[in-house]
Copies of this chain bind each other. A is one copy, B any other.
Amino acid sequence: MIVRKKTNIFKLFFILRGSIVPKILPQILFVASLGGAVAIAHRHYAPIFPNITVAPFALLGIALSLFLGFRNNASYDRWWEARKEWGQLLVDSRSLSRQVTSYIDGDTESGKWAQVRMIRLTIAFNHALRHRLRKTDPWDDISQHLEADDIAPLKKSRNLPDALLRMMAGKLGACRQKNMLSEFLIQSLDDRITSMAGVQAACERIESTPLPFAYSLLVQRTAYLYCFILPFGIVASQGFATPLFCAIVAYAFFGLDALSDELEEPFGHSANNLPLAAMARATEINLLEILGEEIFPEPILPIKHLLE
């Protein structure tokens, strides 16, 4: 995620980091060049030029705006829903930690053990989920929070975050058999785990189900066709301003399309994706503080405005 203050107008056109421009520059330049070529050709061979005007572009422009607008809304909703789910994970992580520290008796050894286990497994879940969503290796981040005996069975699991939640429930079941927790608290803590399972399933849904592919095709084909024939439509009235207009229109349409592309998959590594690493680390620090630890890992800070 790009972290920047608002900029003023003088710098507005010189910002590159976080801008979508570098990604779509080839397309913009191509359309602008096409516009230039058409303008020159029109000046010299106007009579044999196809006799088209700008009117039908308005019709197409409305349709194209409809497509781009819809895709943008849907992508943004996915991005914001993903962010909300991670917010919910923070609530669940904090609340579960608060509940085990407040309602399990931490003065007994087994009580303290249960507190530490539940909170550290919650931290591990946060890291495991973000690594699963980004398809990276989780073990550097989570092994320090696990007991040695637990690592082997977890490594065999096909779905690590889900296995961690089941391990948490298993520990709760053990507490229950030892009567360390009332039925009420078991239910309350299990509700938290179910809620975390909900966060995981929602993130997996967003990650595994993109917008219908036919939609992306429809949008992009229409946008490209539109920009490729636009110079012919405006050259008669705009003359040598044609490349400028073509470039601005291409910037607006391709820019929105490229941005929607990034937001559609909010768990990636691009500049407009969610800072999963920083969020998981912040939760880790928060929960270690609840646990009473005094040594914390470093929070992840933005590098050149980019927060991972």
The residue in chain B whose Cβ has the minimal distance to the Cβ of A202 is B87
A33 at the interface (CB under 8 A from B): no
A108 to B186, CA, bound (A): 22
Say whether A139 faces chain B, with CB atoms less than 8 Å apart: no
B201 lies within 8 A of A90 (CB): yes
Cβ–Cβ contact A249 & B60, under 8 A: yes
A70 contacts B65, CB within 8 Å?
no
A110 within 8 A of B: no
Q: How many copies does the complex hold?
A: 5
- When A19-B217, A20-B218, A101-B166 are in contact, do A194 and B91 touch as well, CB less than 8 Å? yes
A239, B52: Cβ atoms under 8 Å? yes
The answer to whether A12 and B217 touch (CB under 8 A), given A1-B209, A61-B62, A249-B59, is yes
* A146 touches B (CB below 8 Å): no
CB neighbours of A253 from chain B (8 A): 63
Residue A295 at the chain B interface, CB threshold 8 Å: no
Complex Cα distance A53/B233, Å?
13
Closest 8 CB pairs of A and B: A102-B169, A102-B173, A2-B213, A87-B205, A54-B55, A18-B213, A212-B272, A183-B184
What are 15 pairs between A and B in contact, CB < 8 Å?
A: A2-B213, A4-B213, A9-B220, A15-B217, A20-B218, A70-B76, A94-B201, A95-B197, A98-B166, A98-B193, A101-B169, A102-B170, A187-B188, A214-B271, A218-B259
Other contacts beyond A58-B59, A159-B289, A222-B251: 12, CB < 8 A: A18-B214, A50-B238, A54-B55, A54-B56, A63-B252, A84-B205, A87-B202, A101-B166, A102-B166, A102-B170, A103-B173, A229-B248
